[in-house]
Amino acid sequence: MANKKQWRGKTILHVDINSFYSSCEEIKNPSLKGKPHAVIMTPQDSNNITKGAVTTCSYEAKKFGIKSAMPLYKALELCPNLILHAVDKKFYEKISNEVMEILEDYADIFEQASIDEAYLDCTNKISTTDLMVGEYAQEIKKSIKEKCGGLLTSIGIAPTKSVAKIASDYQKPDGLTIIHFNELKNFLNPLDVEAISGIGIKTQNILKEQMNIKTIGQLSNTDVQILIERFGKKVGTWMWQVANGLDNEPVLPRRNHISLSNESTLEFITYDKEIIKQSLYELIDELYERIKNNKYQFRTVGIKLMRTDFSVETREKSYIKYQYERKSIESLIEELLDKFNLEDNNLVIPSRNITKKFLPIRKVGLKVSNLIAIEKSNKDNEYKQMTLLDYC
């Protein structure tokens, strides 16, 4: 561990609230502490959960092998005495807001990344204290624990956002991992490439199976031109920079939403287009209310379908001009839904010798993006009666 006088570069913290949803349930009911319990994505209430999937679970439940996205029946096979809770999003958001307010006070620049994680650029604030970076992080952990019902956090500290994120995942729960500039390569090299946030399953498979690049060290030693040729200039360069600890993405405050969305789990899994369409229509009012409350206009409407194997498919369409009316969302749903395969059949890809089974739908989502605040938009962008030319 290095003190502040030895620190080189920016001081960036990634703060992750451990097992957040489950920890929130322990705030509501402290008797849950030390017991295996899980928050279930289900349309049912907490007193009658018979179907659904695990969103998060306590560390005691994880010891039984329970994981996020696991079907409920499988989780109960592993732990018959598992205590179940339905998602209580409003309560989780309330606790999240309390945590984020604390974190913002510790940061020069604060960026909330999700409901349970945030990046803090603390370069200047730490320099004005007599604390070492680790002591500063411990102050943050202590403040959250005392003010937010005993919540535990894992914090990663590094000169870059990407390494700070990797470091926060390194020790859980209640971890603190500090990576000094001179330690970046030694820390990163032995780690699996999937440790890099932003490298998804598809990219992992290409790196590992087709290019024989399994560790971050191997990735860092790969000619950047080879990565650019395979993944494109932007992604290839980014991966190489992260692997070498050279990326310089800044911590940026997110004052406005990038998109607004909501979702719903279907009562029964289905291929029925009409049932799926009706479920999407039922999401419109709540989403449109949020659009109005935030005084946004939007250009893009998208829908998301989750199949029973938890694979997610999305389709979206954009208007040329910004929109503000409810019917601008409703009018695109059926068209977007027609772009999905909603039949119980197989797709054969002869060239790859692959047969893909289309599974039924278990969850739907609705989203608007390409947002702009009304007070910032030009009069030319304001809503006008739709015509065929408004579509692209």
Residues involved in catalysis: 117
Token look-up 């409350």 returns 293
Token look-up 């994120």 returns 165
For 109, half-sphere exposure in the C-beta direction (CA atoms, 13 angstrom radius) is: 13
Question: What's the distance, CA 188 to chain centroid?
Answer: 22
Amino acid at 240: W
Name the residue among 298, 285, 306 with its Cα closest to residue 382.
298
Task: With residue 55 as reference, give the H or E element that holds it.
Answer: strand 53-57
Alpha-carbon gap, residue 83 to 37, rounded angstroms: 4
Angle (deg, nearest 10), helices 89-106 and 20-28: 110
Token look-up 């502490």 returns 33
Alpha-carbon gap, residue 158 to 12, rounded angstroms: 6
Instruction: Tell me the CA end-to-end span of the chain in Å, nearest whole number.
Output: 54
364, 304 Cβ separation under 8 angstroms = yes
Alpha-carbon gap, residue 32 to 34, rounded angstroms: 6
Question: CA 253 → CA 98, 153, 215, distances in Å?
Answer: 17, 21, 32
Q: How many C-beta atoms lie closer than 10 Å to residue 197's C-beta?
A: 15
Residue 97 makes CB contacts below 8 A (sequence gap 6+) with none
184, 159 Cβ separation under 8 angstroms = yes
Amino acid at 360: P
